[in-house]
Amino acid sequence: MKLALFGGSFDPPHRGHVSLARLAMDRLLLDRVLVAPVGSQPLKQEATAASFEDRVEMVRLAFAGEPGMEVSRIDAARADGRPNYTIDTLLELKRGLRAEDTLFCLMGADSFLTIGKWHRAAELLVACDFIVGARPHFDLGRVAAELPESISLGSVDADLPGCQVLGLRGKDGRSQLYLFPDLAIDISATEVRSALRRSADRDATAHRLLQPAVVRYIQQHKLY
């Protein structure tokens, strides 16, 4: 089985999130994508605009009908108040997998470019393979610049259409990074929230950037 963890705030989940997950499913023939809103994100000091439960429900609506994609509560806020660290989540998932299964961590390029600041980054980068979606003309050199010093980056001889495969090597192991350099939908959740707060173009922007069911949920619950 090929399983990908797609974590993040999803505040709110937008068409770009769905597009990236579809791209990963199609190009790497994934069996499942777990879309997991995070309860407490260590690198973001400000609270999310929507509650965890609202974000879980919006993810369920945004990805409804997408084969192999499901909402996961694996990154819900911890009872002990500790932040949700991706390395902990991935190791928990790996414990439930078989030796022949493959685990991926799916994210956009903007998130990956902060990876050097993540908890136990060097261990994280070789804990599983990574799938990164980038906009056209993305500068690959930016990836190498953000890696921890103990992680080296190299090319891998692989023939995967629409995907550049790179090797990551560290003292704790090695992994592969699958880069999609042609993510067509360029949206950020920050942009969505900002647009939703502008009454002049709120409805038009919402329907352009969000799934209809998510728009209705936001309207019904007066979010953002």
Q: What is the CATH number of the domain that holds 64?
A: 3.40.50.620
Answer yes or no: is 153 within a domain. yes
Q: What is the mean pLDDT of residues 18-38?
A: 97
Task: Give the separation between CA 135 and CA 137, rounded to whole angstroms.
Answer: 6
At residue 135, the pLDDT reads 83
Q: What is the mean pLDDT of residues 74-102?
A: 94
Whether residue 216 is contained in a domain is answered as no
> Residue 126: inside a domain, yes or no?
yes
**What distance, in Å, lies between the first and last C-alpha atoms of the chain?**
38
Whole-number Cα distances in Å, 12 to 54, 74, 113, 147, 216: 9, 18, 21, 28, 12
pLDDT, tens only, 95-147: 999 999 999 999 999 999 999 999 999 999 999 999 999 988 888 889 989 99
Alpha helices, DSSP H, located in the chain: 15-28, 52-62, 86-95, 109-112, 121-124, 141-146, 189-196, 202-209, 212-221
Tell me if 63 is assigned to some domain.
yes
Taking the model in full, what pTM does it have?
A: 0.93
- Does residue 196 fall inside a structural domain? no
Tokens 């390029």, located at residue: 109
If pLDDT is split at 50, 70 and 90, which confidence band does 201 have? low
22 in a domain, yes or no?
A: yes
Q: With 70 as the cut, is the pLDDT of residue 200 above it?
A: no
Residue 109: CB partners within 8 Å, gap ≥ 6?
A: 132, 133, 134, 135, 138, 183
Binned at pLDDT 50, 70 and 90, residue 75 comes out as very high
With residue 169 as reference, give the H or E element that holds it.
Answer: strand 164-170
Residue 203 pLDDT > 70, yes or no?
yes
Query: What is the count of structural domains for the chain?
Result: 1
The answer to whether residue 221 sits within a structural domain is no
Q: What is the mean pLDDT of residues 69-80?
A: 95
Q: What is the DSSP string of 21-53?
A: HHHHHHHHT-SEEEEEE-SS-TT--SPPSS-HH
Per-residue confidence (pLDDT) for residue 206, from 0 to 100: 81
Task: Give me the domain span that covers residue 63.
Answer: 2-187
- Whether 81 is in a domain gets the answer yes
